[in-house]
Structure 1
Amino acid sequence: MSFLVLLLAVWIEKFSALRQRVQRDGGWLRELNKLEASPRWNDRPWLVLMVMVLLPVALLALLLWVLEPVAYGLLALPVHLLVVIYSLGRGDLLAALGPFRDAWRREDLQAAAHVAKRDLDIEADDGEQLLVRVQGHLLWQAYQSFFAVIFWYFVLGPVAALSYRLLALTAEHSQNPGVAERAAQMRHAFDWVPVRLLAASFALVGNFVAVSRVMLHELLNWNISAADLIDKVGLVAGEIPKPVAGPDGINSLDRLWELLLRAAVLWYAGFALWTVLA
């Protein structure tokens, strides 16, 4: 059922607006901020995480435990699908990059810097650094929005996928530094395996030798963040040249996107093969 859910999730992502209707975080974020603002919970970050992350995933696990035996698990299928869709990243990555791409193609660096700050929350000291940061943003957002979620769903099911997204939301939106720090630590642990698996996938669909050189030093490095690792590996795997203004700079973003698409196809082929052989 896992592979079927992943196929349906991709189809819905491309051809339906269901994702926008499912991904409503307002109520959950209000409860998180309300809990953090309470004097009783202000110095208890682990308790906040237990209530806002562990409790929802425990309720999901209980619901699935009840539904799995009914009708050969068919009633659990829509729950799996909704959880996976909710757990995917927020926003449309390619649409958010659109204004930046237009400005960069025109070599209007001032406009590119403005839209990068407005749409992507990215700032840089000069044009070259700006493009490098946008390239890193593309790789990181694609990883955390899609690859990390489908990895944990396929390995451990919807409970793990939901846990990953709730930890990510907590780390990004928490107003309590202690809560945000602990959520980021737990997310880092969640990222350790899938980000390295994606790096290995880049080696298979990109420049194998260049990726191998990077991974030789970073494979077991616990301290490097997932964002930094996928940035370093993605740029060498796609053989991205030095940043330049104009169409050539936009071509580097296209090459990174094509690299990500090839990696996604490789992952789905692996999932399909595992499903057949298991």
Structure 2
Amino acid sequence: MTLIILLCGLALEYFLGVLDDVRQLVWFGRYSDWLENKLVQSSYWNSAGGIVMTLAGPLLLILLIDYGLKNIFSPLSYLFALAVLLNSIGPKFLDESLSAYVDALDAEDDVQARHYAGEFCQSLAAPDPMKDEQEIIECIFVQANERLYAVIFWFIVLGPFGAMLYRLANILKTKHQDIHGDYADSARYLNNLLNWPSTRLFALGNALAGNMIEAMEAWRSNEDSSFDANEAVLIASGLGALHYRPETNAQEGEVDRSYWVRAAQSLINRTLIVWLTALGIMTIAGLLA
């Protein structure tokens, strides 16, 4: 059922864009703030224990609901898993944002283009769509993992619990990205830990869907035993799979403004097909076995 739920969720996203306006998970930000105010004086809070306490409530609730629905009427648990998956993707569906960014570039609407560039790079000082093209494309690969691929991976491994675990951990990392302290460091470490397998599988998918030789060489040259290498591996392999050559933009008019963004969007979508195909093969093999 995992494959069917994923296909249903992705179909709803691609064709309806159902939850962009409602899945900001504002409630979790308020809940974590409330919990911090209550427990900040505790000796366990400013550590990994604080992260565990923050995540425990929502995730235990998901486990209890999922367990209860499976015992009452199992199809309800599938609908619940689909709802959790849809709320874990995002907060905005990347393909839709990329299409809007491409439209803004083609229309030479610099205001809208900068808006989406800032969204991809999670920066108030939005990068210039033309001067900082490579930086934006690098951010797009990172966002593809955080918004979609890591969620899919953990949904496959741990079901709705895994998908929401990743989304909430990512929210905590983003919320504390400019803060120093053991709690913030633990949030970043957990996010890096959860990103490790998905970034490697995403890189492998990019290699299979794009320029394999360049992607694998870039992966090998950037691989490290540290979790901190996640983004470096993903970005390098993504640019390699894309066969990105910024110098082709040197001569005006040779490549249109949105060429490399569209190429990155196409690669990301092809990689998704690779992932789903692999999952389908494993599902069929499991049924036959």
Structure 1, 127-136 or 54-63: larger mean CA deviation: 127-136
Aligned length: 277
Question: Equivalences for 1:1-278 in 2 at 5 Å?
Answer: 1-20=1-20, 22-38=22-38, 39-41=40-42, 44-45=45-46, 46-71=48-73, 73-94=74-95, 96-97=97-98, 101=102, 104-105=105-106, 116-117=117-118, 120-122=121-123, 123=125, 130-174=132-176, 177-178=180-181, 179-242=183-246, 244=249, 247-278=255-286
Shift of 1:113: 5.4
- Structure 1 residues 69 and 161: CA distance shift in structure 2, 3 A: same
Task: Show structure 2 runs of 5+ residues with no match.
Answer: none
Structure 1, unmatched stretches of 5+, are none
Compared with structure 1, are the counterparts of its residues 142 and 117 closer, same or farther at alpha carbon in structure 2 (3 Å cutoff)?
Answer: closer
Quick one: structure 1 residues 169 and 216, their matched pair in 2 at CA, closer, same or farther if it must change by over 3 Å? Answer: same
Letter in 2 for 1:85: L
Q: Answer yes or no: is the 8 Å Cα contact 2:93–2:147 preserved in 1.
A: no
TM-score (norm 2): 0.83
Q: What amino acid is the match of 2:184?
A: A
* Alpha carbons of structure 1 residues 274 and 135: separation in structure 2 relative to 1, 3 Å: same
1:181 aligned counterpart, secondary structure: helix
Scaled by the length of structure 1, the TM-score of the pair is: 0.86
On the 8 A contact 1:22/1:82 being kept in 2, the answer is: no
Deviations 1:160-183 (A, max 9, x none): 111110000111124864333211
What per-residue deviation string (whole Å, max 9, x for no partner) do you get for residues 220-240 of structure 1?
532444333221111110111
Q: CA deviation at 1:12?
A: 1.4
> Using the alignment, how far apart are the partners of 2:272 and 2:79 within structure 1?
23
SS of residue in 2 equivalent to 1:20: coil
Structure 1, 97-106 or 48-57: larger mean CA deviation: 97-106
User: Which piece of structure 1 moves more, 150-159 or 18-27?
Assistant: 18-27
What letter is aligned with 2:143? Q
Question: In the superposition, relative to structure 1, how do residues 99 and 205 fare at CA in structure 2: closer, same or farther (>3 Å)?
Answer: closer
2:151 and 2:163 in contact (8 A); partners too: yes
- State the shift of 1:37 in Å: 3.8
Say if 2:223 and 2:233, in contact at 8 Å, map to a contact too. no
The one-letter amino acid paired with 1:186 is L
Mapped partners of 1:140, 1:160: distance in 2: 19
The percentage of aligned residue pairs carrying the same residue is: 23
In 2: Cα distance, 1:110 partner to 1:10 partner: 30
Residues 258 and 250 of structure 1, relative CA distance in 2, 3 Å threshold: same
For residue 99 of structure 1, report the CA deviation from its aligned partner. 7.0
Does the CA-based 8 Å contact 1:23-1:86 persist in structure 2?
Answer: yes
The answer on whether the counterparts of 2:13 and 2:93 sit within 8 Å (CA) in structure 1 is no
Tell me: higher relative CO, structure 1 or 2? Use CA pairs within 8 A at least 6 residues apart: 1
Cα RMSD, aligned residues only: 3.0
1:105-130 Cα shifts (integer Å, max 9, x gaps): 57788986576447854458877651
Shift of the 64–147 alpha-carbon distance from structure 1 to 2, 3 Å rule, reads same
Q: 1:239, 1:82 → 2: CA distance?
A: 37
SS in structure 2 of the partner of residue 258 of structure 1: helix
Q: 1:94 offset after TM fit, Å?
A: 4.8
- 8 A contact 2:130–2:257 mirrored in 1: no
Structure 1 distance, partners of 2:137, 2:271, is 17
TM-aligned CA distance change 1:126 to 1:61, over 3 Å: closer
